[in-house]
Amino acid sequence: MDILEMLRQDYQRFPRDQTFSLYSADVFFQDPLNRFRGRKRYEKMIAFLARWFRNIHLELHDLRQDQRTIRSDWTLSMTCPLPWQPRLQITGYSLLELNDQNLITAHVDHWRSPPVKILQQIFQS
């Protein structure tokens, strides 16, 4: 199975049963709120989402590869663990860089809205 198909399947079941073996041990991750290096840390971040947020849905809009770069366009929605259970929605895209072994060495998320706009959704529900 090729990496694009594996990623499609990961998006469908996100955040459960992710194929972490697609990532290098020292993968670099960045989004507007996080910046770190390491697959173990990446796994912990996904586990945190799975544990604390509910009704997580990651809709994949587009997935394409250009040599050593993969781009995925997506919308992530989830229910926050607060008493009034606000729903968050983040639309964005990810750029994944591959090494010679076809492992992801960088995963950088770009959000279409600034983090403050995303966090305002908590108080608009």
* DSSP, residue by residue, 28-76: EEE-SS-EEE-HHHHHHHHHHHHHH-EEEEEEEEEEEEETTEEEEEEEE
- The token duo for 5 is 């198909």
Per-residue pLDDT, averaged over 52-68, amounts to: 97
- The token duo for 124 is 């608009």
pLDDT of residue 123 exceeding 90:
no
Instruction: Give pLDDT, residue 125.
Output: 57
71: exposed, middle or buried (Cβ count in 10 Å: 0-12, 13-18, 19+): middle
Per-residue pLDDT, averaged over 94-108, amounts to: 97
Residue corresponding to tokens 């670099």:
28
pLDDT of residue 84 exceeding 90:
yes
pLDDT of residue 80 exceeding 90:
yes
In this prediction, residue 119 has a pLDDT band, given cuts at 50, 70 and 90, of: confident
Entry pTM: 0.93
Per-residue pLDDT, averaged over 83-101, amounts to: 97
Instruction: Give pLDDT, residue 46.
Output: 97
In this prediction, residue 124 has a pLDDT band, given cuts at 50, 70 and 90, of: confident
Provide, rounded to the nearest whole percent, the portion of the chain with pLDDT above 90. 94
Walk me through the domains of the chain, giving residue ranges and CATH numbers. 3-124 (3.10.450.50)
How far does Cα 24 stand from its chain's mean position? 16
CB 104, CB 24: distance < 8 Å: yes
Per-residue pLDDT, averaged over 53-80, amounts to: 97
Question: Rg of the Cα trace of the chain?
Answer: 15
- β pairing state of 69-79 and 54-66: antiparallel
CB 41, CB 26: distance < 8 Å: no
